[in-house]
């Protein structure tokens, strides 16, 4: 029990509670359930992407192309929607996931088969993906009036009091909690990042595991791409520009170790919520929204310091103190 309390997740939950408490003290309306639900809904895309990013980081990699993937996939489904307004949203979602998956696989194959460092690969694909959007559109925007109503409405549709967007985030949290804790692939992500050398001995193909991590991250980014453009009802080259770093930040704040092997879906969720609450609370508490960037920067630094303290090894335990106590 004490172990649970000392865990990274518990610490973060405490931080979120304190944060909410401080806000509620001055602005009780912020913690009204309806507002908290809207904060959650607002944070849903970040939650989704953070889960994908967490899996990639677990395997000692990083995916800087998620936001570009999101933007490109969002544009592709928007253009499909313009070309075929009658196509059901179900297929749009499938296309988004499928297209995102392909982009993720492209990253993954470069990391797996050519052993190019992930940061280089995704730095490159990030600019390439965004460039492709420009080639597709010559820089033009796809605006709200060009999108079909069903295309725009699905993520906003209420289901049991919550928009579908929120339900998708909740489902992803549950699905990936199961995947990460109860499937061989899920455990392989931890093993491949925690101790790649040993993973090879245990019959785990580290490169292939990293490939699957990028694939999952890509699939989630693709799905989020559709959700994003339909929610904001606009698609353009710079959609979610720079968001990849917010996603990494959510993971770091959520206790995911950049060295690989450490992190949970729950942690990524909390990290995303922490940033989401701050983003939504700033206007409420009359702090300029311009302060958001500095605050999340500070939060990342504090989180990484705390993570490092928690993971510090005290050295080998050789002395048997008890024997010499008497």
Partner 1 sequence: MSPSDAPILSLEKVTKTFPGVRALSEVSIDLYPGKVTALVGENGAGKSTVVKTLTGIYQPDGGEIRVDGVPVHFPTPQSAENAGVTAIHQETVLFDELSVAENIFLGHAPKGRSGLIDTHAMHQGAKEILDGLGAKIDPRAILKDLGTANKHLVAISRALSVDARVVIMDEPTAALSHAEIEELYELVDGLKAQGKAILFISHKFDEIFRIADNYTVFRDGQMVGDGAIADVTEAELVKMMVGRDVSQIFPERDRNLGAEVLNVTGYDHPTEFADIGFTLKRGEILGFYGLVGAGRSEFMQALFGTTKPSAGSVRVDGAEATIRSPADAVSHGIVYVPEDRGKQGAIVDLPIFQNVTLPSLKQTSRKGFLKMAEEFKLAREYTERLDLRAASLDTHVGSLSGGNQQKVVIAKWLATEPKVIILDEPTKGIDIGSKAAVHEFMAELAAQGLAVIMVSSEIPEIVGMSDRVIIMREGRIAAELSREDICPEVLVSHAAGITEATA
Partner 2 sequence: MNTRSIPDRLQSPLERKLKSWESLLLLVAIGIFVANSFASPYFLNAWNLSDATFNFTEKAMIAFAMALLIISGEIDLSVASIIALASTAMGAAAQVGIGTEGLVLIGLATGLVCGAFNGVLVTALGLPSIVVTIGTMSLFRGISFIILGDQAYRGYPSDFAFFGQGYVWWVISFEFVLFAIIAVIYGVFLHMTNFGRTVYAIGNNPTGALFSGIRVGRVKFILFLLTGLMSGIAAICLTSRLGSTRPSIATGWELEIVTMVVLGGVNILGGSGSIPGVVIAAFVMGLVTFGLGLLNVPGIVMSIVIGGLLISVIALPRLWTMWSAR
Contacts with partner 1, residue ranges (CB under 8 A): 178, 181-184, 187-188, 190-191, 194-195, 197-205, 261-262, 314-320, 323
Q: How far is the CB of 148 from partner 1 (least distance, A)?
A: 38
For residue 220, give the nearest of 77, 109, 67, 79 by alpha carbon: 67
d(Cα 224, Cα 251) in Å, to the nearest integer?
Answer: 17
Contact pick of 19, 128, 170, 233 for partner 2 (by CB under 8 A): 128
For residue 97, give the nearest of 74, 118, 113 by alpha carbon: 74
125 binds partner 2 (CB under 8 A): yes
84 binds partner 2 (CB under 8 A): no
Write down the residue that tokens 């800087």 correspond to: 64
Contact partner, 227, from partner 1, partner 2, none, Cβ < 5-8 Å per class: none
252 binds partner 2 (CB under 8 A): yes
Q: How far is the CB of 202 from partner 1 (least distance, A)?
A: 5
Contact partner, 136, from partner 1, partner 2, none, Cβ < 5-8 Å per class: none
229 binds partner 2 (CB under 8 A): no
For partner 2, which is the closer residue by CB, 64 or 281?
64
15 binds partner 2 (CB under 8 A): no
Inter-residue contact 222 to 99 (CB < 8 Å)? yes
Q: How far is the CB of 108 from partner 1 (least distance, A)?
A: 19
Spell out the alpha helix ranges (H) of the chain: 2-6, 8-26, 33-58, 66-83, 89-113, 118-137, 149-153, 164-182, 184-194, 196-201, 206-232, 243-253, 265-284, 292-311
For residue 136, give the nearest of 190, 87, 78 by alpha carbon: 78
For residue 100, give the nearest of 223, 238, 247, 234 by alpha carbon: 223
Inter-residue contact 56 to 193 (CB < 8 Å)? no
For partner 1, which is the closer residue by CB, 199 or 227?
199
Contact pick of 21, 85, 283, 297 for partner 2 (by CB under 8 A): 297
Per CB under 8 A, residues contacting partner 2 are 62, 64, 110, 114-117, 119-121, 123-128, 130-132, 134-135, 139, 237, 242, 245, 248-249, 252, 258-259, 288, 290-301, 304-305, 308
């Amino acid at each position: 029990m004490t172990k649970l309390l000392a865990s990274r997740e518990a610490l973060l939950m405490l931080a979120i509670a304190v944060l909410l408490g401080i806000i509620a003290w001055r602005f009780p309306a912020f913690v009204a359930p309806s507002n908290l639900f809207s904060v959650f809904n607002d944070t849903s895309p970040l939650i989704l992407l953070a889960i994908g990013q967490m899996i990639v980081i677990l395997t000692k990699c990083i995916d800087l192309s998620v936001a570009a993937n999101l933007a490109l996939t969002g544009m592709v489904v928007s253009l499909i929607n313009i070309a075929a307004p009658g196509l059901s949203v179900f297929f749009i979602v499938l296309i988004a996931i499928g297209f995102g998956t392909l982009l993720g696989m492209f990253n993954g194959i470069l990391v797996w088969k050519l052993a190019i460092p992930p940061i280089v690969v995704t730095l490159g694909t990030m600019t390439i993906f965004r460039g492709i959007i420009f080639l597709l559109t010559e820089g033009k925007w796809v605006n709200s009036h060009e999108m079909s109503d069903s295309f725009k409405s699905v993520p906003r549709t209420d289901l049991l009091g919550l928009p579908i967007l929120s339900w998708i985030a909740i489902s992803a949290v549950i699905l990936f909690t199961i995947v990460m804790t109860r499937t061989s692939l899920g455990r392989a992500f931890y093993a491949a990042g925690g101790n790649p050398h040993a993973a090879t001995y245990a019959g785990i193909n580290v490169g292939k595991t990293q490939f699957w991590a990028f694939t999952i991250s890509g699939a989630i980014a693709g799905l989020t791409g559709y959700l994003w453009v339909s929610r904001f009802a606009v698609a353009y080259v710079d959609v979610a520009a720079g968001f990849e770093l917010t996603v990494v930040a959510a993971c770091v704040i959520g206790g995911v170790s950049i060295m690989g092997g450490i992190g949970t879906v729950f942690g990524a969720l909390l990290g995303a919520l922490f940033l989401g609450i701050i983003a939504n609370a700033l206007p409420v508490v009359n702090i300029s929204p311009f302060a958001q960037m500095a605050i999340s920067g500070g939060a990342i630094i504090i989180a990484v310091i705390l993570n490092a303290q928690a993971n510090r090894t005290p050295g080998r335990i050789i002395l048997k103190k008890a024997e010499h106590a008497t």
